[in-house]
Structure formats: structure tokens, C-alpha cells
Structure 1
Amino acid sequence: MSGVRVIPRGGERDRLGEGLFWSARAGALYWTDILGPALNRLSLADGRVTRWPMPDMIGWVIERRDAPGLIAGFRSGFAELLLDPVRITPIVDPEPDLPDNRLNDAKADAHGRIWAGTMPIGADRPTGSLYRLDPDRTTTRVDTGYTVANGPAISPGGDWLYHTDTVPGRVYRFALDEAGVRDRELFIQFQPGWGRPDGMTVDAQGGLWIAHWGGARVSRFTPDGALDRSIALPASHITNVCFAGEAYDRLFVTSAAEGAEDEPHAGALFEIDPGVHGVPPHLFGG
């Protein structure tokens, strides 16, 4: 497909690719295979892909600002993660009373906090919530009632937090500041035929890029929520998007093979030319 590149991985594909994160420190792109379960890393210098099996479902990783390693979201909760060798140090399970829930997707903000959603593993009831993990390791539930809490994204100015409930196709917008989030509003309602909103990121112009689960594409929405353009991809279940590279001008996209095993590119990692630049990701402050 014109303008779309499949990243070579020796035939490896993800059952449920997710959790993209660009590390300028490592010059590499991280992403997870939730159902693998595994963590992947693509070196942009030489195209090498490394894959680490994980002992538990892993939704995402975010780099630490002032310490080595990553913070990861597992089925069992937040944890510190070091690689080579793999070492996992639990931080906290935000939902010990909901053993069938797991962490799903997350982003950090300019204050060093992580905003992370949870969901039931079966994606069949609204027991998911949105949490804030502060640098001092305390957690706060800030919203609830999600079936699949997904795709946080932070506006370039840091004044908006976008968050999704995938199943009903809703993208919400919260006002964001040092005190937290407030004033949730419906920002985008996905239309029939679009699929459902999954992972998200923003570009330097304030555009919101959304992966379409079941929609075989990613789309850019303007800062006022209008559909700007879509880029078709050769896989049905598109899950996450992330700007990478020194100039943040390369856009990578994950997908899922689960439920689409007959599609040759389902579960692949794609690269597309976005025509715009992204912004550096925020890191966890703890």
C-alpha cells in the first residue's frame, strides 16, 4: 500500500500490539504485545527488533525521567521494569478488588504524572477507570465507568487530556492542569463505519491522531474535533500511534492479529509519513 511501510520482523507479529513509546535516550521505539505477553523494541539506527517475554499481560511502558528503566502497566498493576536482564518491581495494584481487570494504556504529562486506564479483560462491562500515578507513587481514581479505557493523549500545551472509551466509540476531553483533570466533555463520537477509537497521540499543531480498531486506518482530527484526514492500513485492528525519530517526523502504528489471523499484515508494526511533526513524550517523574 502506497505510503505505508511494514517493519521487517522475521515473520513475528503481535497478538495485540499496543503501548507505543519513543525513547530519545535509547534511540528506540518500545511497544507491547499485551497477549504475547511481551515487550518489543525497535532501534531506529539499525532496524533491529528485540523482544522480551513478560510474565504477565503488559499494556504499556513509559520512561523514567530521573532514573534508569521504565514504568510499566501490567495486569497486576504499576511496576518498575528494567531490561537485560528483565527485573520487575511492583509499585501498586490500583484495583485489588477487581482481579479480572488490567491496565490498558497510559501517557505521562509535563508534571511527571502517569494517566492510565483500566478495563475488564473480557471488555464486557463498564468496570474500567482512569487513574493518576503521581511521582510519589500514590494513585488516584479520577474517572470511572469505562468498558475499555484507552488511548490517553496530552495536548501540546498541556492543557487538555484526551481519553477514550473504545466500546461506545467516545473520545473525551478533560481540562488538565497542575491540580489534575476536570470538566469531562464528549470531544469526538465515532460514526458507523469508522471502527472504534483506540490509542492516540498529538502532533505539534495540536492535531489528534487516533487508531481505528476495526477501521483499518488512523485519522487526524483538528484541535476542535473535526476529521481532517485518514490513512488506510492493511490490517483491520489498528491499536496505537506514536511519533518517533530525532525530528518526531516518523509515525509508527501497531496492530493486532487477534481476531484477524487470516490477514497477512495483522499484528504488524507499520510506519507511515504523517506530513507533520510530533512532540517529545513526557516522562514519569518518580
Structure 2
Amino acid sequence: MADLNYHHLRYFWAVAHDGNLTRTADRLNLSQSALSVQIRKLEERLGHALFERRGRQLHLTEAGRLALDHADTIFAAGHDLIGTLAGTGRTRQALRVGALATLSRNFQISFLKPMLGQDDVEIILRSGSAEELFAGLESLNLDILLTNQPPPQDHVSPFTTHRIAEQKVGLIGSRQRIEGHADLASLLEQNPVILPSSGSSVRQGFDALIERQGIRPNIAAEVDDMAMMRLLVRDDAGVAVIPPIVVQDEISTGQLWESEVSLDLTESFYAVTMKRKFPNPLVGKLLARDRL
């Protein structure tokens, strides 16, 4: 079997990072046709198409994304060699993670903790809207997506949804607001309440609960960002309906308290992946951990 031609690989690597055949050809002082021939030879050697054309743009295929990851490693090894001889340098593997912008930062850290601090792993973390992140997963720019909103069942892309955690939802506030309230009605009617936005499953469960009990709370704020809810409850704007993991540091130091009154509500967290022929092995290691 013929060895891989690294000149072909370098040309592919350059085009993949530029995202534009014309620009790369100009930069390398080559004709577009010559550059195309080099990439086509690499595709023939690997047995897979590396790019697909959509209009005037080139997009990596799944095999192309995998080839780019390996090319990054291969060409970084040259720099690592110089660095190693100078005293430093080590090859690293990338893990591309998307996280819903409103998702608890503490939960994200908890999920990624097994990979944090590993010398051979580079975590690339992107946040955004659900629409942006699912598009990133479909285009192979993300390996895994963290969310509390699973994709619709009728979505056309071959997503796989893993329920990785379930956190109870509590009533969190300052000691002065939490103490002395033995029942839900007393706590909610005597304190302003900070709630997640109406589209969330937690909010829907909370609304159903207070409807059954005939409670009419004074709503101080409706927020879809867990980081903002954390700031509001820390500033004593009211009692927040959130998973305690969001404010675990403040609870541990006594800055905030969790009420003993139970809401009997939970929030589920999901990791979403795409079905791939060449999955990132780091994703499998993360998902292999017991969650629930």
C-alpha cells in the first residue's frame, strides 16, 4: 500500500483552514487547477471525498473534518519537535463542545471535568442559541452539544440524545428570605420570585404547581440565563427557582440558602451527538461515565 503523500495533505490542510480554493491558490502561488489536482489525489488515496461544494463555498465532509484533525496534529508535530528540543511541546487532541448560552456554567464544568487539565486534550467550547449549536453539530464543527432542550423528535438530522443528568430544582435565596417559611405559599407570597422564562420545562412545572395550590406569587424577574439568575439572587432581588448546582458555591459559603420546602421539580440535562462514521473518541469517554 502506498504511503500517504504529505504534500497532498498539506495542500488540503491549507484549503481547509482558508475555506477558499482561490485564496489558498494565490497564497501558495499555484493555479487553482493544480491545487485541485493535489486534493483530488489525496481523496483518491484516502478513499473519501474531503470537501463538498455548496454554491461557491467548500464545506468539509465528515471524512474531511477527521482528516483536518489529523493534519492539524501532524503539522503541529513539526512545531512540537522544535519546542520539545527547546524544552516544551506535546501533541494535543481537540474536543469541540457546544453549550446552550443559558446553561449553568457549573454544570458545564462538572460534565467536562474528566477532560480538564489533561495535557493532551484541548477543549474548544462554544456557546450560542439552540439553532446555532444544532447547525454547528450538523456541519461537524462541534463534536457534542450540551443543552437542557432536547432536539425535536421529527428533526431530519441523525441526532442521538443522551440524558446525562437530572438536577432537582429548589427555592434559593438569602437567609433572611428563606428562614421562617415552612410552606410554599408563605415563602412565595412574602417574597418576590425570580423565575426561568416561560418556554422552559422548569417554568412549566412551576406554573402548574402554583396553579394547583392557588398561589399568586409576586414575580420580580423572568430570566432565561442561569448566569443572570445567579446574579439576581446573589443581589437579593428575590427567591429564585433554580437547580442548586447553579449557585453551589454561594450555598457552600452560606451566602445563599436553599429552602427545605420541596417543589418536587427536576431539570434534565442532555448531551447531543451526531451519528458519525468517525466519531471523536473523547466524546465516548465522556459519555461512558455514569450520570444519573
* TM-score tier after normalising by the smaller chain length: under 0.3
Larger radius of gyration: 2
What is the TM-score when the length of structure 1 is the normalising length?
A: 0.21
Structure with larger RCO (C-alpha < 8 A, sep 6+): 2
What is the TM-score when the length of structure 2 is the normalising length?
A: 0.21
Higher share in helix: 2
Higher share in strand: 1
